[in-house]
């Protein structure tokens, strides 16, 4: 085979874990480990969800040969040169797995490569992009007759990750015998954690008072140290704790087994799971309390009932919008002001935020928006726990809207077809 390049465009930690990971695995499985013939490069673009560790995460995937950090993206887009002055082979494919689809078009033209976009909700630039790998039939071409040949339904990449991890899953220790395990997913960025950690702890205490058999766990984001997470449960370090009527907790470490947990004044222990991804653990959860983000898609694919929390006590906490709103909300100095204004406008529109709800076009799982009180949220969770048929109904609805697994292999096949079309 003539040497070719596969350039993958991605951005945030969610896309790297749930989109890039299964695709590069599938590419190497189908193409073989022929690094001299097929080189896989990942270039990251700026993302409001980013933590700064995305490049390090991408480098842990053995299938990837080269990675460029997000801070070098704009010079590359404008001038066509990477920070390390990478060489590019004559033929190749640009594959979109996160960011702005327009970047795929620009870089495909610049490098003279074929272009493939994976689309969950919307497929843009249909006239100029060569192929679209879409999650389901709802992502239809704007002109079905003219561009339909470019579209292939491939399934759901997040379903791939959940399935593969379930097949490879480890034992989950003491949680394996938990009759009623509740997951707490407060986020990974400080703006969300300031509200999310103390609020989730307070909700957990309300639930535990009524159902002492309940156990609680926080799957810690891979970009977050547990010591940093614990700071948001400390009233001396988190001024928002009182604002959300939250509960404080101390970090405890067990030297004999390496377990870590947050312990409240009442004695409630919330275990901290540092393994990532923690799909085997999440699959054991009866329900989860979560903020918005890629985690709602992951929980949806696992069929885990969830309550989505959008507290507005600190209105500028949400800054992860796409496009111009996201840029304005993250500006130095003025970002907080823009974030508050944008969030007020967006929240008034009544749009859906959780991925399963977006897929379904209706609220399958509740999205609680406003100055949330722990007792208010706990009441919903307790109602579910005391009425298991309600939990089962939500599980059934989540399974009905999630995409089919197999997307990683199907996308790899499309990329290979586009490579072969250039070589023949």
Q: List, in order of start, the domains of the chain with CATH numbers.
A: 4-155+406-423 (3.40.50.2000), 172-401 (3.40.50.2000)
Could you give the C-alpha distances from 343 to 52, 127, 188, 293, 317, in angstroms and in order? 24, 34, 19, 15, 9
Average pLDDT over every residue of 103-108? 96
Examine the pLDDT at 274 and tell me if it is beyond 70: yes
Examine the pLDDT at 174 and tell me if it is beyond 80: no
Distance CA 208, CA 90 (A): 62
pTM of the predicted structure, to 2 decimals: 0.74
Query: What confidence score (pLDDT) does residue 187 get?
Result: 87
Query: What confidence score (pLDDT) does residue 164 get?
Result: 62
Query: What confidence score (pLDDT) does residue 173 get?
Result: 47
Query: What confidence score (pLDDT) does residue 228 get?
Result: 94
Could you give the C-alpha distances from 307 to 352, 353, 365, in angstroms and in order? 13, 12, 6
238-272 in b/e form (b: 16+ CB < 10 A) is bebbebbebbbbebeeeeeeebbbbebeeebbbbb
Distance CA 247, CA 199 (A): 7
Examine the pLDDT at 162 and tell me if it is beyond 80: no
Query: What confidence score (pLDDT) does residue 42 get?
Result: 98
Query: What confidence score (pLDDT) does residue 179 get?
Result: 77
| Range name among 206-215, 302-311, 332-341 with the lowest pLDDT average | 332-341
Query: What confidence score (pLDDT) does residue 235 get?
Result: 94
Task: Give counts: helices (H), strands (E), the chain.
Answer: 18, 15
Average model confidence (pLDDT) across the chain: 86
Bigger pLDDT: 143 vs 39 = 39
Which residues have CB under 8 Å from 399's CB, separation 6+?
303
| pLDDT class of 167 with cuts at 50, 70, 90 | very low
Average pLDDT over every residue of 141-166? 78
CB atoms within 10 A of CB 362: 11
| pLDDT class of 70 with cuts at 50, 70, 90 | very high
Average pLDDT over every residue of 300-310? 92
Examine the pLDDT at 54 and tell me if it is beyond 50: yes
| pLDDT class of 343 with cuts at 50, 70, 90 | low
131 within 8 A of 149, measured Cβ to Cβ: no
Query: What confidence score (pLDDT) does residue 171 get?
Result: 41
Could you give the strand order of the β-sheet that contains 38-44, starting from the edge strand earlier in sequence?
A: 66-68, 38-44, 4-10, 91-96, 114-119, 131-134, 151-153
| Range name among 106-120, 151-165, 370-384 with the lowest pLDDT average | 151-165
Query: What confidence score (pLDDT) does residue 358 get?
Result: 86
Strands 367-370 and 260-264: unpaired
Measured in whole angstroms, the distance separating CA 390 from the mean position of its chain's CA atoms is 26
| pLDDT class of 109 with cuts at 50, 70, 90 | very high
| pLDDT class of 423 with cuts at 50, 70, 90 | confident
Tokens of 79: 């001038």
Average pLDDT over every residue of 133-145? 78
Examine the pLDDT at 168 and tell me if it is beyond 80: no
């Amino acid at each position: 085979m003539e040497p070719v390049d596969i350039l993958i465009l991605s951005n945030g930690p969610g896309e790297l874990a749930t989109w890039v990971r299964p695709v590069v695995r599938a590419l190497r499985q189908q193409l073989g480990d022929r690094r001299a013939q097929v080189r896989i490069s990942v270039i990251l673009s700026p993302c409001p969800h980013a933590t700064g560790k995305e490049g390090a995460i991408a480098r842990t995937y053995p299938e990837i040969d080269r990675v460029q950090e997000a801070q070098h993206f704009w010079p590359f887009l404008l001038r066509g040169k990477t920070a390390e002055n990478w060489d590019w082979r004559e033929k190749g494919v640009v594959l979109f797995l996160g960011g702005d689809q327009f970047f795929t078009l620009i870089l495909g033209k610049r490098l003279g490569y074929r272009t493939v976009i994976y689309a969950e909700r919307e497929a843009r630039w249909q006239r100029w992009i060569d192929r679209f790998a879409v999650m389901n039939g709802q992502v239809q071409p704007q002109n079905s007759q003219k561009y339909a040949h470019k579209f292939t339904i491939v399934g759901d990449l997040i379903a791939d990750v959940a399935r593969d991890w379930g097949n490879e899953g480890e034992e989950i220790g003491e949680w394996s015998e938990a009759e009623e395990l509740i997951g707490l997913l407060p986020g990974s960025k400080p703006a969300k954690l300031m509200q999310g950690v103390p609020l989730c702890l307070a909700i957990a205490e309300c639930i535990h008072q009524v159902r002492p058999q309940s156990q609680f766990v926080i799957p810690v984001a891979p970009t977050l140290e547990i010591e940093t997470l614990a700071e948001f449960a400390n009233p001396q370090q988190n001024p928002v704790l009182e604002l959300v009527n939250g509960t404080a907790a101390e970090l405890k470490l067990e030297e004999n087994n390496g377990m870590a947990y947050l312990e409240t004044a009442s004695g409630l222990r919330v275990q901290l799971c540092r393994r990532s991804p923690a799909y085997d653990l999440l699959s054991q959860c009866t329900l989860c309390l979560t903020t918005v983000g890629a985690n709602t898609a992951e929980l949806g694919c696992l069929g885990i009932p969830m309550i989505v929390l959008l507290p507005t006590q600190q209105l500028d906490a949400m800054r992860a919008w796409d496009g111009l709103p996201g840029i304005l909300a993250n500006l130095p100095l003025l970002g907080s002001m823009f974030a508050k204004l944008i969030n007020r406008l967006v929240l008034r529109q009544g749009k859906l935020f959780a991925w399963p709800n977006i897929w379904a076009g209706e609220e399958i799982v509740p999205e609680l928006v406003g100055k949330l009180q722990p007792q208010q949220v706990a009441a919903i969770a307790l109602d579910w726990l005391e009425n298991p048929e309600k939990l089962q109904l939500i599980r059934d609805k989540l399974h009905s809207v999630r995409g089919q697994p197999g997307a990683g292999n199907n996308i790899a096949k499309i990329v290979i077809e586009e490579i072969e079309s250039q070589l023949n």
